[in-house]
Amino acid sequence: MPAALTYPGVYVEEIPSGVRTITGVATSIAAFVGWAAKGPTDEAGLVLSWSDYVRRYGDLDPRSYLGYAVSQFFANGGQRAYIVRLAKGALASKVELKSDADALALTVSARSAGSWGDDYAVKIKAVDPDANGIKRFRLVVSNWKLDVVVETFENLSMEKTHPRFVDAVLKAESLFITSVATGSDLPTKVKDAQKLAGGSNGSDLETDSSDFNTAALASTTLLDGVDLFNLLCVPGATTPNTIQKLQAYCRKRRAFLIADCASTATADTLKNGPDALFTGADAINAAFYFPWLLAPDPVQENRPRLFPPSGFMAGIYARTDTQRGVWKAPAGSEATLVGAIDVKERATDDQNGVLNPQAINCIRNFPVYGIVAWGARTLQGNDERGSEWKYVPVRRMALFIEETLYRATKWVVFEPNDEPLWAQIRLNIGAFMHDLFRQGAFQGASPKDAYFVKCDKETTTQSDINRGIVNIVVGFAPLKPAEFVVIKLQQIAGDIQT
């Protein structure tokens, strides 16, 4: 009721409905880990397109699968990706600029480590002081190899308290350089463009080398700073110990690992299934794809080259989620791999029949459909395990619901733990689940056959209440892919007149 009833009359009060709309989280934000020639090494950078990746991390580089995998992801339907750049021992290009007194005034460095910075130069020119008499200067950044100016910064100051302090401006606005100012003297001794130098790519991390695997596993700490990602790809990483640890990390983050087979793998070498380390308890959050794919390499005059399948498949996951929903298997005649021209080994139906029960998802080349993903099992999808998380869409649907409800129920914390709260929880989660039911995400002809939400005195006892616990039980009937289509044909006798 209103806080104070003081005068005779009508009082109006708005009553909260208790409805808190739950919006499903994204399902196909990918994270890629690998070597790149440029780009930040201290964070996982978000890119929204292939051109965005090129600006931040450089173009395709034959020394690494990373750029190709990201390109394949966007070509096949991906929309958002985080990039973790591995660059062991890389150094940033830099140049030291001096004042008229021949003292160090400004150290300019490339934005990130790598020899790419050696292609750039800076030029300084003093301009008129500001209204307070503070000395200012112009800084021009150019690519001396291409003979083109790429950035110009006006009215910079060496004074830390100035709104155009050089270090702050370059940190916030430059795509190519950063700086460290020394003192307040202008770097006026620079008359001509001064080239940055000393940049190094460090050691090119050969895929699946011990250094590569160590760096890839260590890089997951950068992903800890990412609020949400759903798919993890480390293109070309196939070492069992690495895959096992990446699976564990994905399970902790409610993400899904797309694992590559070895480049040398054949249907014969995989006939007994993946390495045992691939199929442990955390394998429910991973899928394994065979074989590698042939695709044109733009850097090498479009000559065909073998690539790991994870980049292609991450794009297929994203495209399927957008067009059909996360509950649809990222496989079948619609799961065409854009950009691939062939598979390394064309598995026959019989070979596919051996590999599929071993939780190996084959990529096939069919005359009508082209190159398609022809399997949708998790790495615990071996028939002998009988896992409830046998299928990729079932597991990813569960992860989607878990992540959504984890974020959407934080308002419950510290609310009075009694029936009014439980009713609100049932209302809001029930509305979310019913919306998924209407989209065709569950089995069942009616809501009661498709899902349930339970939160009452049966799930939350007085003992739970005393300990500050509210228990919410959500169940759903997942859609499972039709792996095997059986057509039964028989003759019938014609109508015989008697």
* 189 and 211 housed in the same domain: no
- pLDDT at position 476 is 96
What does the alpha-carbon distance between residue 453 and residue 350 come to, in Å, rounded to a whole number? 44
Cis upstream peptide for 420 (omega within 30°):
no
Domain hosting residue 276, numbered range = 30-87+205-393
In a domain, 160, yes or no: yes
* 287 and 342 housed in the same domain: yes
CA proximity to 436, closest of 407, 389, 480, 479 = 479
- pLDDT at position 208 is 83
- pLDDT at position 2 is 62
* 141 and 265 housed in the same domain: no
State the CATH number of the domain containing residue 130.
2.60.40.4290
- pLDDT at position 90 is 87
* 190 and 132 housed in the same domain: yes
* 256 and 158 housed in the same domain: no
* 219 and 346 housed in the same domain: yes
Tens-digit pLDDT profile for the chain (498 aa)? Answer: 566 888 999 988 888 888 899 999 999 999 999 999 899 988 999 999 999 999 999 999 998 999 999 999 999 999 999 999 998 888 999 999 988 888 899 999 999 999 999 999 999 988 888 888 888 999 999 999 999 999 999 999 999 999 999 999 999 999 999 999 988 888 876 668 899 999 988 776 778 888 888 888 988 899 999 999 999 999 999 999 999 999 999 999 999 999 999 999 999 999 999 998 898 999 999 999 999 999 999 999 999 999 999 999 999 999 999 999 999 999 999 999 999 999 999 999 999 999 999 999 999 999 999 999 999 999 999 999 989 999 999 999 999 999 999 999 999 999 999 999 999 999 999 999 999 999 999 999 999 999 999 999 999 999 999 999 999 999 999 999 998 889 999 888 766 666
* 98 and 118 housed in the same domain: yes
Phi, psi of 362 (to 5 degrees): -85, 145
* 292 and 161 housed in the same domain: no
In a domain, 482, yes or no: yes
- pLDDT at position 288 is 97
In a domain, 39, yes or no: yes
- pLDDT at position 132 is 84
Quick check: 115 and 201 in contact, CB under 8 A? yes
* 256 and 282 housed in the same domain: yes
Residue 475 makes CB contacts below 8 A (sequence gap 6+) with 451, 452, 454
Place of tokens 């169940």: 475
**Three-state DSSP string of 193-235:** CEECECCECCCCCCCCCHHHHHHHHHCHHHHCCCCCCCEEECC
What does the alpha-carbon distance between residue 402 and residue 228 come to, in Å, rounded to a whole number? 13
- pLDDT at position 191 is 65
Out of 171, 195, 219, a domain closes at: 195
* 360 and 255 housed in the same domain: yes
Residue 344 CA, chain-centre distance (Å), reads 26
The total number of residues written for the chain in this structure: 498
State the CATH number of the domain containing residue 346.
3.40.50.11780
Helix (H, G, I), strand (E, B) or coil at 249: helix
Burial of 490 (0-12, 13-18, 19+ CB in 10 A): exposed
pTM: 0.91
- pLDDT at position 219 is 85
In a domain, 4, yes or no: no
- pLDDT at position 190 is 63
In degrees to the nearest 10, what's the CA dihedral of 284, 286, 288, 293? 160
How many domains are there within the chain?
Answer: 3
In a domain, 477, yes or no: yes
Residue 247 CA, chain-centre distance (Å), reads 15
Kindly state the helix (H) or strand (E) to which residue 432 belongs, with its residue range: helix 419-438
Maximum Cα–Cα distance for the chain, whole Å?
A: 120
Residue 223 CA, chain-centre distance (Å), reads 9
- pLDDT at position 15 is 85
